[in-house]
Amino acid sequence: MGARIIDGKGFAAGVRGRVAEAVASLKSRHGITPGLAVVLVGEDPASQVYVRNKGVQTREAGMVSYEHKLPVETLQDELLALIDRLNTDPNVHGILVQLPLPDHMDAAAVINAIDPKKDVDGFHVINVGLLGTGQKAMVPCTPLGCLMLLRDLHGDLTGLNAVVVGRSNIVEKPMAQLLLNASCTVTVAHSRTKDIEELCRSADILVAAVGRPRMIHGDWIKPGATVIDVGINRIEEDGRARLVGDVDFDSAVQVAGAITPVPGGVGPMTIACLLANTLTACCRVHGLPEPEELTA
């Protein structure tokens, strides 16, 4: 029997629906409409598509979308001035600066210029510190989406062994912290980890986010384990381009208990959680109850 295929696309649609309902309630009861500002510097094609999709889904959820598209030669001080204006704009509850930024900009300085309460990407050093100490924070979207999928599948995660493969600040480190906060026993593996295959085989929950196509094979996976594949890799195969994950799906699906596909697994959850974070940020700044099950 093969693994259960986790329908991230369908789950994300449900999250967006719940966000839209909560936004409609905010409007009718309090006269408040959450606003999300997205800043894009340059003309990276993938970023342009991503920003466009964010704008569409923001408006579909009933929120206001503010899009700021700046030329690649924009000076860092000009970008910081824009962020400062958005920080003080009461109609903007969430700010996202699309990465990567041009080489002449310091991404850390730009991210840390965002008001932490409006940092819906969850990358600001203050939010990182709050999450790391178990306090209320804005949580990075992709790890939050993974946690939602795991909660939906398992309910209580207490006591489960979790292995996170990768150690980036954007996905893997916050993912590990979220799992630790959920009372899992967590190990972070990376390129220098010894006996990584055996370590992966110990996991009840295996999260792969290394950016290496099909790195993790079925014989790395504990029978019945839940596999969350965050990787999105474009490869050429049989004369055409296709997207594959960091997990070799065909072999893993024969061993795992549940697995996210690529595409259609974790990817759709990222924008859904961005909308959820914007809603959460809006509720917090107005002192209103946060929506249930839409944050960590």
What's 194-211 look like in SS3? Answer: CCHHHHHCCCCEEEECCC
At 169 the pLDDT is 93
Q: Is the pLDDT of residue 101 over 90?
A: yes
Active-site residue, 136 included: no
Using a 10 angstrom Cβ sphere, with 0-12 exposed, 13-18 middle and 19 or more buried, the burial of residue 212 is middle
At 50 the pLDDT is 87
Task: Tell me the CA end-to-end span of the chain in Å, nearest whole number.
Answer: 33
| Structural tokens at position 217 | 């094979």
- Alpha-carbon distances, residue 25 vs 61, 63, 296 (angstroms): 12, 12, 21
At 45 the pLDDT is 86
Q: Quick one: what percent of the chain has pLDDT higher than 90? A: 90
- Alpha-carbon distances, residue 75 vs 42, 65, 228 (angstroms): 11, 24, 39
At 21 the pLDDT is 97
Q: What mean pLDDT, rounded, does the chain reach?
A: 96
How far out from the chain centre does Cα 20 lie?
A: 19
Q: Are 285 and 117 in contact (CB under 8 A)?
A: yes
At 203 the pLDDT is 98
H or E stretch covering 236: strand 233-237
**Which one from 121, 204, 246, 248 is the annotated catalytic residue?**
121
202, 207, 210, 211: CA torsion to nearest 10: 130
Alpha-carbon span 60 to 62, nearest angstrom:
5
The mean per-residue pLDDT over the stretch 129-138 comes to 95
The mean per-residue pLDDT over the stretch 230-259 comes to 93
Active-site residue, 76 included: no
Q: Is the pLDDT of residue 1 over 80?
A: no
Pairing of strands 233-237, 240-244: antiparallel
At 152 the pLDDT is 97
Active-site residue, 54 included: yes
Q: pLDDT-derived band of residue 116, with 50, 70 and 90 as boundaries?
A: very high
Q: Is the pTM of this model over 0.85?
A: yes
At 65 the pLDDT is 97
At 237 the pLDDT is 86
| Structural tokens at position 58 | 């923001």
The mean per-residue pLDDT over the stretch 258-286 comes to 97
At 253 the pLDDT is 97
**Which one from 57, 98, 246, 248 is the annotated catalytic residue?**
98
| 188-213 pLDDT tens trace | 999 899 999 999 999 999 999 999 99
At 76 the pLDDT is 98
